[in-house]
Amino acid sequence: MLELIKPYITEIITFVAGAGAWGYERNKRKAAYNKTIMELYQEALDDLKKRYDADLRELEERYDKRFKELELRYNKLKQSFEDYKKKH
């Protein structure tokens, strides 16, 4: 049996070493790929948070502006009504 394998021992060693190197590189690339994917997701989440905060800030400003306008309008109507009651 050993005599049958002996002429091919260098090819067998080369194959085993190549398979080991391929497996190592594959895992290394997979880890780098996963890290890249995680960085992209994190970047997207950070960007989404910034956009959400900006939109929320804008919405709050619009709400406050509208509330002040309505409050001013209400006070004018209330004053007009009070003036009307005093006249009649």
3 state SS for the chain: CHHHHHHHHHHHHHHHHHHHHHHHHHHHHHHHHHHHHHHHHHHHHHHHHHHHHHHHHHHHHHHHHHHHHHHHHHHHHHHHHHHHHHHC
Tell me which residue range forms the domain holding 58.
16-87
Q: Is the pTM of this model over 0.75?
A: no
Query: Does 2 map to a domain?
Result: no
Query: Does 11 map to a domain?
Result: no
Query: Does 10 map to a domain?
Result: no
Query: Does 9 map to a domain?
Result: no
Number of domains in the chain: 1
Query: Does 1 map to a domain?
Result: no
Q: In tens digits, what is the pLDDT along the chain, a chain of 88 residues? A: 778 788 888 998 999 899 989 989 998 888 888 888 899 999 999 999 999 999 999 999 999 999 999 999 999 999 999 999 888 7
